[in-house]
Amino acid sequence: MIYKLLNSIDQARPFERLSAHCDIPCGIYDPIIAQIAALTVVRMIDLMTDLDNKGGEKNKDYINSMSRYVTIKEEHAEKAKAEIRVIWGDFLKAQHLEKYPNTHALVHQIMQLGSKARQTTDREAALQLVEAINQFAEIFWGAKNIPTKRAIAPYAPNLELVYPVL
Amino acid sequence: MIYKLLNSIDQARPFERLSAHCDIPCGIYDPIIAQIAALTVVRMIDLMTDLDNKGGEKNKDYINSMSRYVTIKEEHAEKAKAEIRVIWGDFLKAQHLEKYPNTHALVHQIMQLGSKARQTTDREAALQLVEAINQFAEIFWGAKNIPTKRAIAPYAPNLELVYPVL
Amino acid sequence: MIYKLLNSIDQARPFERLSAHCDIPCGIYDPIIAQIAALTVVRMIDLMTDLDNKGGEKNKDYINSMSRYVTIKEEHAEKAKAEIRVIWGDFLKAQHLEKYPNTHALVHQIMQLGSKARQTTDREAALQLVEAINQFAEIFWGAKNIPTKRAIAPYAPNLELVYPVL
Amino acid sequence: MIYKLLNSIDQARPFERLSAHCDIPCGIYDPIIAQIAALTVVRMIDLMTDLDNKGGEKNKDYINSMSRYVTIKEEHAEKAKAEIRVIWGDFLKAQHLEKYPNTHALVHQIMQLGSKARQTTDREAALQLVEAINQFAEIFWGAKNIPTKRAIAPYAPNLELVYPVL
Amino acid sequence: MIYKLLNSIDQARPFERLSAHCDIPCGIYDPIIAQIAALTVVRMIDLMTDLDNKGGEKNKDYINSMSRYVTIKEEHAEKAKAEIRVIWGDFLKAQHLEKYPNTHALVHQIMQLGSKARQTTDREAALQLVEAINQFAEIFWGAKNIPTKRAIAPYAPNLELVYPVL
Amino acid sequence: MIYKLLNSIDQARPFERLSAHCDIPCGIYDPIIAQIAALTVVRMIDLMTDLDNKGGEKNKDYINSMSRYVTIKEEHAEKAKAEIRVIWGDFLKAQHLEKYPNTHALVHQIMQLGSKARQTTDREAALQLVEAINQFAEIFWGAKNIPTKRAIAPYAPNLELVYPVL
């Protein structure tokens, strides 16, 4: 019964009409903000590992640095998720989802990877977050018919990011 | 090389490993926060309509009330979206998505309806937002094997909400 | 001169005139948001205790988890306080305070317990916070003439919450 | 029954023990932040009145200025309330409340006046908010045994504020 | 006397030592975030002008759109200022300021232009903000020895931005 | 063409035109907010040192207190920077900068000291932050032709602050 009601809403009108009005809110979407945020997550994990490797005392200086890294990692993982969610919800319309049918699953994966990046210090998961957002960036620029390239970001951790060719 | 790695993750086993760690973050998820937020959106539209119907002068008092309603509508539509996104990304796992295969599309619809509720004063869209979130609440409680009922919320605009039977 | 004016207001008829305009802002107040927040405080203390009981190394993973629990505890204790303060200041009027003369002291106690829940990891204080907010919820629903019941919340730490009977 | 439980909590232990630990969190409380915020509320109302008196067109420039004034008024009224709530909840203990038995009612009044300052453009209510917070400042400095004076604030709207004599 | 004390602090030690430790906080700075924010300011002014040109009724729909544009303009002007302030304060050191002696004045100008962009709907001031931030971007990339180019941004209002050549 | 325009503005007469409109935003600026924030930074460092000196176990209670101190230190160092930046960007005009030619360098130093206060637990740097903001306060009150005095703040850490003589 749940699905029937929804399906009726779903099939009959909303998506089409919503798409029709997409010009009004059309903000300035750019996945680079999420990409930079994801890079920052990796960077924080690297700084956390470095600090542990130094092997100093676990005193106020250790907590000061470590808990600041955690907070910054937290904020940027959250920012990455929020930015992707906005582009997904506000910019991508029925025609794009048809062209890129894996988008919903990719966005769900980004949410999960973003959460994992917050909950752990797993560098591998953070790299997967960067890459998943890169793939989302390729969908986004593809939806705007703008070609992309991959280049090394000009700051540590110097990972490959997807950029539009301007 | 990273790119390849992610594709393999993406296609073959995206969520299983992540699901395995779901107990650790398991917070206290409750869609009622999003449901109350969506009700508030409808309420603000009603107050905006009432104010226009009064027909007073368009002076500082009018702007004071109207722009406060817009801001509150804005914040609660955003809150509704954020809460649903968190439950979707952090709580719902592969097994739930299999049981409720329409979830991704429903969440995407909630994001779009939430944005429409911000961009317009369309009461119909706000009602659809309440209903879409109610349906999400049914999925959520279903995933937890807790039965639900529908009852009139004890505050204006007195719409039907989905509640768990406790 | 202002000073005199206020004294007269203060002593003679502090709330009556203000109460007269209470309908205009009448938003959608629901103590469940504060109740869920207080539960979350207890939950975080439980996770903190579990983590210490595991007895692992006090490295970046320990700080990552522990400082995230502290932050979430912090935010939810604050949210609980803020929500109660809003209902107290915006919804409760002279007639309610007459009917429930202990309200001011209860709210002050909630503020103190909320602060204690932030400053310590004392589970007993957090339980008192849940209970004090439950009692506030009973006053709130009583002021609206809606009966309440107590039921176990459908998520850990599975404590008793006050719910309206709808 | 509600009150019995609370009374037992209330009378038996919590306040005393809480007071005993008050040194640990003892931050740096200063009501001047709330006083400046309340002045700003008055200032915004003055700017709103000036703008209406100019009588220009009600176009984008009018909304740009007017809605910014509303937002700033909103934020500062809220800030005033939040600051007072913190000092009341975190600093004032049983012995202070005994010495100043009207404190709870004054704080409740500040919450109501702060809300009225948000909901309206009533300059008189905003002046009452400034004065109520001045009276709270006198209680606060009295609780610390620091004498106060009243002086005209060195910025528009040049109202009288309570200052500690240092 | 003021200046003597400061000069002694200024000349004797702090800048050098601070520079020496710049690696530790070295985050991931990128002026593109401020540049996108400044573009958004121009975009909002364009949407505000379009809405006025449509000439509809000044009712709830008008205020809903107009006050949302104001808020978004406000937030992005503020974000632009905050991002530039962070790069200026955290990244640029004595050696960079020597190489680009106009930097302090440029940053102060950005702060003023950002404020003007909030206070008015003056498109010319917003364009100057974009350009001033572009010039800051050239200084920033110059300080990192990375060459730049100018290209049209791939979204409305399609102004020229400074990009690093990667 | 834009580029040329800005260069001419930049070199020849950057601030005059902007200054002409300074009355409209003229808010209520008061450096006391930044001064209290800087004091709080010192206070947090003192509490962190005290906690380490107690020498207890490095368990959840230690992290709870220590990471809260870090967060509060972080927030207040940031608040100090933000408040100074606003007064510098919004209040100080060409004529003030002429009278106090060291202002830009002092503000840049405050930004650096504020960041150092976040990154470390160095009490000396925090004291320098307090003093640099005191010196900024002297410039601010000087620009308003209001004399100042120095007095011991009425709360720990009881450092000397600059106050206007009212």
pLDDT tens for F28-50 read 999 999 999 999 999 999 999 99
Mean pLDDT of E78-93: 96
Q: What six digits make up the tokens of C44?
A: 């975080």
Neighbours of chain B (3+ CB pairs under 8 A): A, C, D, E
Residue D25: what pLDDT? 61
Confidence tier at F97 by pLDDT (50, 70, 90) = very high
Residue E25: what pLDDT? 62
Question: Residue B161: beta bridge partners?
Answer: B151
In chain D, what residues touch E70 (CB-CB under 8 Å)? Answer: 63-64, 67-68
Residue F28: what pLDDT? 93
Residue F18 in this model has a pLDDT that exceeds 70: no
Q: How far apart are CA E161 and CA A111, in angstroms?
A: 31
- Nearest Cα of chain E lies from the Cα of B117 at a distance, in angstroms, of 11
Confidence tier at E12 by pLDDT (50, 70, 90) = very low
pLDDT-above-90 percentage for chain E: 84
Do A74 and C61 count as a contact with CB atoms less than 8 A apart? no
Residue B14 in this model has a pLDDT that exceeds 70: no
Residue F154: what pLDDT? 95
Residue D3: what pLDDT? 39
pLDDT-above-90 percentage for chain B: 84
Residue B8 in this model has a pLDDT that exceeds 60: no
- Nearest Cα of chain D lies from the Cα of F44 at a distance, in angstroms, of 9
Closest to E153 in 3D by CA, of E28, E40, E30, E29: E40
In chain F, what residues touch E130 (CB-CB under 8 Å)? Answer: 2
Residue B4 in this model has a pLDDT that exceeds 90: no
Residue D151 in this model has a pLDDT that exceeds 80: yes
Q: How far apart are CA F31 and CA F141, in angstroms?
A: 9
Interval E97-153: pLDDT, tens: 999 999 999 999 999 999 999 999 999 999 999 999 999 999 999 999 999 999 999
SS3 E92: coil
A158: left (phi over 0), alpha (psi -120 to 50) or beta: left
Do C18 and D116 count as a contact with CB atoms less than 8 A apart? yes
Question: Residue D23: beta bridge partners?
Answer: none
- Nearest Cα of chain C lies from the Cα of F100 at a distance, in angstroms, of 39
Q: Rounded mean pLDDT of chain A?
A: 87
Confidence tier at B25 by pLDDT (50, 70, 90) = low
As a whole number of Å, the end-to-end CA separation of chain D is 49
SS3 E163: strand
Residue F13 in this model has a pLDDT that exceeds 70: no
Cα F136 to Cα A59, E6, E103, F35, distances in angstroms? 34, 10, 20, 10
Do D63 and B64 count as a contact with CB atoms less than 8 A apart? no
Of A73-82, A96-105, E1-10, F77-86, which range is least confident?
Answer: E1-10
**E47, E51, E59, E60: best mutation site toward chain B, by most B Cβ within 10 Å?**
E60
Do D163 and F164 count as a contact with CB atoms less than 8 A apart? no
Mean pLDDT of E42-48: 97
Closest to F33 in 3D by CA, of B1, D34, B42: D34
Higher pLDDT, E96 or C13: E96
Residue A18 in this model has a pLDDT that exceeds 50: no
B64 interfacial to chain E (CB closer than 8 Å): no
Q: Rounded mean pLDDT of chain B?
A: 87
Q: What is the ipTM of this complex?
A: 0.85
F51 interfacial to chain A (CB closer than 8 Å): yes
In chain F, what residues touch A65 (CB-CB under 8 Å)? Answer: 119
Listed in sequence order, the residues at least 6 apart from D18 whose beta carbon sits closer than 8 Å to its beta carbon are C112, C116, D93
Closest to A64 in 3D by CA, of F127, F126, E86: F126
Residue F99's CB: how many other CB atoms inside 10 A? 12
Residue D8 in this model has a pLDDT that exceeds 50: no
Is the backbone peptide bond immediately before F157 cis, with ω within 30 degrees of 0? yes
**Amino acid at residue number C16:** E
Searching chain B, which residue's CA lies closest to the CA of residue E71? B71
Residues making up chain B, counted from first to last: 166
Confidence tier at D126 by pLDDT (50, 70, 90) = very high
Q: What is the DSSP string of B98-110?
A: HHSTTHHHHHHHH
Interval B78-93: pLDDT, tens: 999 999 999 999 999 9
**B116, B118, B134: best mutation site toward chain A, by most A Cβ within 10 Å?**
B116
Higher pLDDT, B13 or C46: C46
Confidence tier at A6 by pLDDT (50, 70, 90) = very low
Residue F96: what pLDDT? 97
Residue A62 in this model has a pLDDT that exceeds 80: yes
Residue C38 in this model has a pLDDT that exceeds 80: yes
Q: How far apart are CA A16 and CA A11, in angstroms?
A: 9
Interval C127-155: pLDDT, tens: 999 999 999 999 999 999 999 999 999 99
Residue F22 in this model has a pLDDT that exceeds 70: no
In chain C, what residues touch D112 (CB-CB under 8 Å)? Answer: 15, 18, 89-90
Cα E117 to Cα B28, D65, E134, distances in angstroms? 42, 12, 16
Residue F134 in this model has a pLDDT that exceeds 90: yes
Residue C11: what pLDDT? 35
E strand or H helix at D149:
strand D148-152
Confidence tier at B38 by pLDDT (50, 70, 90) = very high
Residue C18: what pLDDT? 29
Listed in sequence order, the residues at least 6 apart from C165 whose beta carbon sits closer than 8 Å to its beta carbon are C146, C147, C148, C149
Residue D156: what pLDDT? 94
Confidence tier at D15 by pLDDT (50, 70, 90) = very low
Interval A113-153: pLDDT, tens: 999 999 999 999 999 999 999 999 999 999 999 999 999 99
Searching chain B, which residue's CA lies closest to the CA of residue E70? B67
In chain A, what residues touch E72 (CB-CB under 8 Å)? Answer: 27
Confidence tier at A111 by pLDDT (50, 70, 90) = very high
B100 with B142: CB under 8 angstroms?
Answer: yes
